[in-house]
C-alpha cells in the first residue's frame, strides 16, 4: 500500500487527470498484481491529487513500473507535476463492494 | 469521498485498530451505501491512521453516522484519538479488482 501525493500545475490539471485516468484503467485491466488505484483531488485545493495504490506485492509493484502504459503516463506527465510525495503504508482493514 | 486522518494515542493503538476493523466490516456488510473503506497506518509513523471513505452519496453518509455499529465505534474510541482531520475529496478515477 502506498499513497502518492502530487501537486499539479494548474494549467495542466485537465491534461494530467486525463492521462491518470488512462493509466489507472490500463493498470487495472492489464496487470493482475495491481489490486486497486483510487485517485482523488482535494475539494479545497483541486491541484492536490492523492492516489491510493494497492499492489499484490513487491514484484507486482516493480513490474508495474516497467509496463508501457505506466512509462507512457510517466513521460507524458513529467512536466505537469510540480511536487510528488510518496507515503508508504500498512493495511489495517480494506473493504469494498464489487465495482 | 473523504479521507480521515487520525493520530492515535500509542498505548491504545492496538485497541483502536481492533475497533476500527469491526466498524469497517459491519459498515460494508450492513450498509448498501458504504462502497469502500480503506484504513492504513503510515509506515514511518504507525500511530497515524488514514481512512479512505467512499459513500454512494450524502444520504448514505448521513445514515452511516446513525448506525449502531458506527456509534459503538465512535464511543469506544473517543479517548483513543488524539487528533482527527477530515479532508473532502472528489473522485478522479476509482478502479479495483473484486475482493
Query: pLDDT by residue for chain A (99 residues), tens digit each?
Result: 999 999 999 999 999 999 999 999 999 999 999 999 999 999 999 999 999 999 999 999 999 999 999 999 999 999 999 999 999 999 999 999 887
Specify the DSSP element, H or E, that contains A92. Answer: strand A81-96
Record: contact B89-A3, CB cut-off 8 A: no
Enumerate residues 56 to 85 of chain A having a beta carbon within 8 A of any beta carbon in chain B: none
Residues of chain B contacting residue A24, judged by C-beta atoms under 8 Å apart: 93, 95
Q: For B44-79, write each residue's pLDDT tens digit.
A: 999 999 999 999 999 999 999 999 999 999 999 999
3-class secondary-structure state, position A66: coil
Q: Which cell numbers hold the place of A39? A: 485517485
A43–B98 CB contact, under 8 Å: no
CATH topology of domain B2-88: Alpha-Beta Plaits (3.30.70)
Average of per-residue pLDDT across B72-99? 94
What does pTM read for this prediction? 0.92
What pLDDT sits at residue A46? 97
| Pair type for strands B34-42 and B45-55 | antiparallel
List the domain boundaries for chain B.
2-88
**Among B45, B48, B60, residue whose Cα is nearest residue B2:** B60
Amino acid at each position: 500500500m502506498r499513497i502518492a501525493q502530487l501537486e499539479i500545475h494548474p494549467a495542466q490539471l485537465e491534461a494530467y487527470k486525463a492521462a491518470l485516468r488512462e493509466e489507472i484503467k490500463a493498470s487495472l485491466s492489464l496487470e493482475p498484481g495491481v489490486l486497486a488505484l483510487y485517485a482523488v483531488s482535494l475539494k479545497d485545493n483541486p491541484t492536490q491529487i492523492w492516489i491510493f495504490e494497492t499492489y499484490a506485492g513487491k514484484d507486482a509493484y516493480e513490474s508495474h513500473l516497467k509496463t508501457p502504459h505506466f512509462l507512457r503516463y510517466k513521460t507524458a506527465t513529467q512536466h505537469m507535476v510540480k511536487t510528488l510525495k510518496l507515503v508508504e503504508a500498512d493495511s489495517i482493514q480494506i473493504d469494498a463492494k464489487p465495482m
